[in-house]
Chains A and B, each alone.
Chain A
Amino acid sequence: MSYMADDLVSFKSLMSLAVEFLNRRAKLARMKLREHKVLIGTIFPPVEMIFAGGAYPVFPIRMERFGDDPFLKVLDLASSTLGWRNVVNFLSFARRFDSKDIIGYIMDNIISKINKEYNFMYDLAEEEGITTDSCYGIKAVYGMLAHKGKNLDGIFNYTIRCSAWEKMYEANQKFTKGFWVDVPLRKTEKGRQMLLDDLYRFSEDLEKLTGKPITNNSLREISQITNECKEYSMKIIHEIALGDTYPCKPTTLAEFLSLIEIAFEDYLSDAKLLLKILKGMYNEMKERINKTEYAVDVSKMPKVLLTPRFGGWDSETHNFVASYGGRMIYADWEIIGMFEKIKTTGDMFENYADYLMETVSLFGVNNDEHTDRILNFVVNNNVDAVIYNQLFGCHSLTTGYPLLKQKLLREEIPSTMINFNKIGENLQQTKTRVEALMELI
């Protein structure tokens, strides 16, 4: 049982984020079918080119139907007609009379609904013939595109260090057109020129679809917004999640962090809206921290980082950590460089190329660099322990634990490694490992 429901009824920003995420399907369908908007699939946060070109980034799973809870529909309707403050009042009021805790049930299941869809995509990918040896992330993305890729006008594929990822994108072309951008692993003169050339091509491809050219101004404008989104997310991580007082229970905050990360995969197809939500969320959190009825003292609770998670992870892990008195920190996008700011003066194409090269570089060209990023985050933020999430089938990004463990040991920071294959699997082993880790702290 999540602790989320108790807090959620007075958190309109989280309600907004959840509904925008879970109920976007209808909006995306309307954009596509009635308004003839151009929808471009994205998996990682760099989406600025897509917005600047007049198209809309879509993390493909958001085209799915997340169950049929009538309450979600009512909530969505209420949010649009009554305004969020009234909805929150309504929910607070309704909950007093609801012995079945329907609000708690719905909110408690937001993450599980997402997880269920992810698992469905995983199964679908296997049915579609992807090798069973692939990692969860690859199967999930493949499944998403197999299921709804036809609704997209294409997908933005940019290269990272994982060769399986590149091959997955290649295989996905049977579901939707791929727009390819080759990002060099190291910054070199010719590498930068190559990347710029790919970005210009991508820009031209988008213009053919939308009729709107990408200008220095359009790219600058969206970059200013996404930079601000990153800034607020960083504030939530550093000022709230890593602080001594929480505005809610620790597991709820962990769920906040994970939802924020998912939202960054396409900025909810509306970067201004995401910025509004993040600003609101940050301000609400700050307000609650200052109110004794909401503030939770977590200063004695050890901070545990779970990473890498973007290829798939089990949200049950933060409940295990909480049950042993700890609090979970999620900060993948920061660790792998996705929250780096885009420079907004000068030539924006060049700035964007530099940003992409920076993210790929901070992703960690090799395990040494990748584990250094984790270590630096841990040391700089006084994190007490690390859970390394090793994906079954991962040949690239989660191969660094032996190296990370050595580095953490030198800093006397305990760690453990958990194996992840699919959401809901292997939980007993995860629990045992988390328990052993928490005993060490």
Chain B
Amino acid sequence: MSKINEELLYFDVGDLFAELNEYILEQKAEGKKVIAFLSHEFLPVELIEAAGAVPLPLIFAGDEDKMTAGGDLLNPNVCSYARSILGYFKENAEYGNYRFLSKVDGVISTNFCTSNILIPEAIIKNFGNHGRDEEIRNFEFFMPYLQRPKHILYYKEQLDQLYKNLLEFTGNSHNPQDFKDTIVKYTKFKQTLVDLYKHEISGVDQLKIIQKALLFGPNYIDLKSIEDVPKRDFKKVNNKVILSGCAPFIGDNIVELIEEGGGNVVYNNTWIGNLIEYSIIDTNKINGSINIKEQVINALGENFRNHSASSHCIPNFQDYYVKELYKISERVGTKAVINLIIKFCDEIGMERQDIKDKAADLGLKMLNLEKDYSQEIMGQLRTRIEAFIEML
């Protein structure tokens, strides 16, 4: 088992990758399987760990080279994030900069969005045999789009099947007590992350904490030292902003740009932020030691049913999403929302204008900010953000 790390922040992305390389190599040395996946709120990472594997969320932003490399393997119109993930694998294959990726044993493909199907497939097709003893294994986890009762049953069936497949892959068997302990541990861990916005920490630092915590998980990160993280100076930046939409992945400097432009990201309503809330298992609903797995899956089903504001869900995502933003705005005291859209994102990008119009109807001021990971657009982004902040 790795040592518990009290360093919640990281200095730069290079350091983080170096630490991740070390961590994954340690886990592999212990004989564990590494399961990679594109992160979203409906894929419970707890099940991966409960099956005895190491969850590796692929939550990395890219750059021009990575986007191009990914585009060559699929299509240049696939979202910048998804293409970048392929780019990381390609660079790893060619130069070994991201050694942890060569340790991936399995990937989970989901239908959260199309990229969640295509990227795992492209990883296996293009890098599945690269310097490995065994080909990377694909685990399919397909969710419904609607949230009617029969759809929840289907979602639960898929959760159960995923867990069984992971257990079969790791060679472990289900242990109710260990399973319960893992769930309780993650619930506490995630709840601390969800409550992070209540601490007066800058948006940049909050994001770094969440990114690192999601990447390494509760076995490695000790969130007790949150209190030691320096507080933000509200005198310097007082234009509160909610960040929503696509996630600011590791290496994406969008929150820095907002805060340098005079904004103050007080709430991060993304997958790498407070949407984690919808993946928290309510441990109050888990009683005794019988049928723990079924109870957990039922709780996850409830989460799915209750999260109509997820960009995956239909048919009224727009309405729920905007209402959710309104509630958040009341809670944190700002009407300003930056809706981050990663270039070619279906889920957030497709309905951007309707979302903005509906947000305006509720008195929210929304900036739809579309970006990829190229450096060329930085100047333009900065100008748009500054103009938006000045209007507040």
Tell me, rounded to whole Å, the shortest Cβ–Cβ distance linking A376 to chain B: 18
Which residue of the partner chain, among A134, A184, A367, contacts B350 with CB atoms under 8 Å?
A134
Q: Which residues on the A side are within 8 Å of B144 (C-beta)?
A: 182, 184, 194
Knowing A161-B114, A162-B114, A392-B77 touch, does A194 contact B145 (C-beta < 8 A)?
no
Tell me, rounded to whole Å, the shortest Cβ–Cβ distance linking B78 to chain A: 5
In the complex, whether A223 has a CB less than 8 A from a CB of chain B is no
Tell me, rounded to whole Å, the shortest Cβ–Cβ distance linking B307 to chain A: 16
- On whether the beta carbons of B315 and A394 are closer than 8 Å, the reply is no
User: How many angstroms between the C-alpha atoms of A403 and B126 in the bound complex?
Assistant: 9
User: How many angstroms between the C-alpha atoms of A138 and B351 in the bound complex?
Assistant: 12
Q: Which residues on the A side are within 8 Å of B154 (C-beta)?
A: 184, 188, 190-191, 193-194
- On whether the beta carbons of B314 and A180 are closer than 8 Å, the reply is yes
In the complex, whether B271 has a CB less than 8 A from a CB of chain A is no
Q: Which residues on the B side are within 8 Å of A30 (C-beta)?
A: none
User: How many angstroms between the C-alpha atoms of A168 and B121 in the bound complex?
Assistant: 25
- Residue of A with least CB distance to B348: A167
Knowing A166-B314, A170-B315, A392-B77 touch, does A161 contact B111 (C-beta < 8 A)?
yes
In the complex, whether A185 has a CB less than 8 A from a CB of chain B is yes
Q: Which residues on the B side are within 8 Å of A368 (C-beta)?
A: 121, 125
Which residue of the partner chain, among A164, A190, A365, A392, contacts B153 with CB atoms under 8 Å?
A190
Which residue of the partner chain, among A167, A197, A391, A398, contacts B351 with CB atoms under 8 Å?
A167
Knowing A193-B153, A401-B75 touch, does A396 contact B114 (C-beta < 8 A)?
yes
- On whether the beta carbons of B350 and A182 are closer than 8 Å, the reply is no
In the complex, whether B115 has a CB less than 8 A from a CB of chain A is yes
User: How many angstroms between the C-alpha atoms of A188 and B72 in the bound complex?
Assistant: 34
User: How many angstroms between the C-alpha atoms of A423 and B315 in the bound complex?
Assistant: 31
Tell me, rounded to whole Å, the shortest Cβ–Cβ distance linking A54 to chain B: 24
- Residue of A with least CB distance to B112: A163
User: How many angstroms between the C-alpha atoms of A341 and B122 in the bound complex?
Assistant: 32
Main secondary structure of the interface of A (DSSP, over half): mixed
- On whether the beta carbons of B75 and A171 are closer than 8 Å, the reply is no
In the complex, whether A366 has a CB less than 8 A from a CB of chain B is yes
- On whether the beta carbons of A185 and B350 are closer than 8 Å, the reply is no
In the complex, whether B142 has a CB less than 8 A from a CB of chain A is yes
Q: Which residues on the A side are within 8 Å of B148 (C-beta)?
A: 194, 197-198
Q: Which residues on the A side are within 8 Å of B153 (C-beta)?
A: 190, 193-194
- On whether the beta carbons of B121 and A395 are closer than 8 Å, the reply is no
In the complex, whether A308 has a CB less than 8 A from a CB of chain B is no
Give the interface size class of chain A.
Answer: 35 or more
- On whether the beta carbons of B121 and A163 are closer than 8 Å, the reply is no
- Residue of A with least CB distance to B314: A170
In the complex, whether B64 has a CB less than 8 A from a CB of chain A is no
Q: From A125-133, A257-265, A282-290, A430-438, give the one contacting chain B.
A: A125-133
Q: Which residues on the B side are within 8 Å of A188 (C-beta)?
A: 154, 157-158, 161
User: How many angstroms between the C-alpha atoms of A396 and B116 in the bound complex?
Assistant: 10
Q: Which residues on the A side are within 8 Å of B125 (C-beta)?
A: 368, 403
Q: Which of B62-111 contact A (CB under 8 A)?
A: 72-75, 77-79, 109, 111
Q: A188-B154, A197-B150, A393-B344 are in contact. List 15 more A-B contacts (CB 8 A).
A: A133-B77, A166-B145, A166-B314, A185-B111, A186-B140, A190-B153, A190-B157, A191-B142, A193-B153, A194-B154, A197-B148, A365-B117, A395-B75, A395-B115, A396-B114
**25 A–B pairs (Cβ distance < 8 Å), ordered by A:** A129-B353, A157-B315, A161-B117, A170-B315, A170-B318, A171-B318, A180-B146, A182-B146, A188-B154, A190-B150, A190-B154, A191-B154, A193-B150, A193-B154, A194-B148, A194-B154, A198-B148, A365-B117, A366-B117, A393-B77, A394-B77, A395-B78, A396-B114, A399-B77, A399-B78
Counting from the closest, the 7 A-B pairs by CB-CB distance are A129-B353, A190-B157, A167-B350, A164-B346, A399-B75, A396-B114, A163-B113
